[in-house]
Structure 1
Amino acid sequence: MSGRGQGPLAGVRVLDLTSVLMGPYATQIFADLGADVIKVESPDGDTTRYLPPGNDPARGGMFMNVNRGKRSIVLDLKQPSAKEALLKLAETADVFIHSMRAQAIGRLGLDYPALQAVNPRILYANLYGFARSGPYRDYPAYDDIVQAASGIVDLQARLSKGEPTYLATVVADKVAGLTGAYAVMAALYARERTGLGQEIEVPMFETLVSFATVEHLCGSLFVPPLGPPEYPRATSEARRPYKTADGYIGVMIYNDKHWRAFFHAIGDPEWSKDPMFASMRTRTQNIGKVLAQVAAVMEQRTTDEWMALLREAQIPAMAIASLTDLLHDPHLVETGFWQERETEEGVLRFPGIPTGFSATPGAIGEPGPALGADSRAILDEAGFGSAEIDALIGTGAVRLAEPA
């Protein structure tokens, strides 16, 4: 069952011209929270449609998850009649969101002034690689590119003996997508107070630089700098899961209370009296030595022994879980996080909505739609007559889903 109409964004209509992951992740959040998200695709469709695995070659698993709860209309925006159809849809939309470079959306004649002219209250969100006021404005950007440009890859190199590596997740796409989601929701709130629409810009590069420097700006916050832009604890080579007698464990002995509890739990050894363990400041200044000492101790017990001891001491710790483990994690099972349902693509398991609302809970929608599955219905709702829709289809300006 679709989540449209159920959730805190019920009644909000979104025209979604995004593709790949950054924009679709933002609009997945909108759909999960009840918005009517109309995914506007070219005749070729979103490129992620074709990423395996999947039973349908035009709807892979990643696409079906990140585009759940949305409706699809195919418009060939290179044709004037398709552009006019989109502008008519915009008359009743709350949000227009795209992930094209500024130059590309401008060539289509779909920049903010064009949308504002048909709907002064519309919120127009640009999600792209680099802010259009700088020299990188026309550079193409994907997750790996922004990880490289934003300092993330260099930070990872500190943990891998100087070898640059990417994070094993598309962090740039997802952080920028989350930023886009909160920016649009903030603009919706502002419009409720002022009645005004506005344009929003969410560049991946600037977003990831902001993200990376939350903790890493450090001494470079000051002018002149009091130190390099680096949080030593996060980049220490010793900061890694601890090896136990039979596996690995994640442990965070962080504040003074944790350290006192840890030392008490292991019998207050003589080395625990070293002044470098005395405070947050001294531990940070000697972080490599501190973590190395803990690592040596951790090898003396099994993972289960450590988990029991650390739970008793109320020190944050978890065994290392794989993504496969998480599919059957007892906490996620009991909270109902995983949601299995019968669909036309068979039984699918969706990750749940991580946020909860006591009065207006959201709902997971149907898997990402077939290309053009809702073209006719969307145009009909917008007031197009049957003859007009047939004419648009006849010229190829609008496409319908291929028969199954």
Structure 2
Amino acid sequence: MMLDLFPTLVGIADSKTGNIAAAVVFVIVTLVYVRSGHYELSDCPGVSKTFTDEVNCRRVLQAKTTNDEHKDLRIALTSRAVPNQRLTVAFGIDNAFTTTSIEKRKSFKDQSISILHRPSLNSGWEKLHFGLRIMIRDALIDKSILLVPLVQSLTLRITLGVLFDLDPVQIPIGVAEELASDINDIWLASKCGSIPIWRTQTRTHMLLRTLISSRNPLDAAENPMNFILPAYETLWRVVLRCFIEIAYRGPRANRTIWRQAIHESLSTNKDESIALAKVSADNIAREALRLYPPTRRVYRYESNLNTGLPEVVAADIEACQRNETEWGADAKTFNPDRWTTIDDPAKRLLAFGDSPFRCPAYNDFGFRMIILLTGALSEGVGEDWELQSDSGDELPEWGTPLCSARKAYSQVRLQDMRSCN
């Protein structure tokens, strides 16, 4: 196997010329590795090291082998692309997360930035909020409803509306629920073992064509999953847990303040809401992203400095952002107040990654989507709905984080207590 050549080839890296040669070899060998179909045929590659401290997590996010390294962007892209190749098999995508092409990466990033700017034009956020209220009102006609499918379908419909300029209210809820379920199932199956092959997911293709007829899901360049996966998949789990925290966890006085802050941000100018609220809506979203990062662990593929052998390293973002040494004794408690005393919030929060791979949503869009969806849900249920769960799916005591597992709380229901009187 070509990877066996690494010890010999990297051994020449005793000079500047040798370092360049080793870097070139790294790209060539890993590209061969990617294109060999390895991920389709075998188990997930083993992780050699997992980091939980902020310094090393940031280094991994930046795709650096050492803290003072300035890696060529092509090498950094390869470092990110290799662990993500399972996604090309499972979802047929070709985007910034899976490519080693600088040009493709730039094109995808530019398109993403343009798309994320849409809600700021022509009262787009207000229209999305209006549509969400309609969708939530219609969903809550049933007096008992599973929470996870509700959050998934709402998040997916709003995401599709933004990404493909659709009216989310016109997206059939049944189609959205089925597509959300398919995405979740494929994602779970792709984590290890025998990865499902995208071309065999005919039902998912049909659902995508029903919603976005102009794009061919079997064409890697056109596949709508290129944008759906990084947008929707990283959002719904944060929204789910943020909603549970502000509506059903912690002291009632805290919940009242949190909900008021979010509701004000949806009904008034954003700057005014920050001045009016004791806790800003942005800090609530920021705290949800800290405690429940959308990507719990980030993987990079690199050459070991000592052996020259390729290895996969991981940044455990979840553990890092819950570290009591870094965040205090209440690090595992949902506490938006903590952000009022942090000088540089953007630097401390790792949920959006780091340069050169910082998510385009980090400036404003990510916060506003969390606030929009969480706030609309909170408005919709008011004080009349309670959470009920089957045995084994109860919420932990406040001060203990909610379970981050993808299948967690699948049996939790929203129950209209007025129907029980």
TM-score (norm 2): 0.21
Taking structure 1 as the reference length, the TM-score comes to: 0.22
Bigger radius of gyration among the two:
1
- Please identify which structure carries the higher helix content: 2
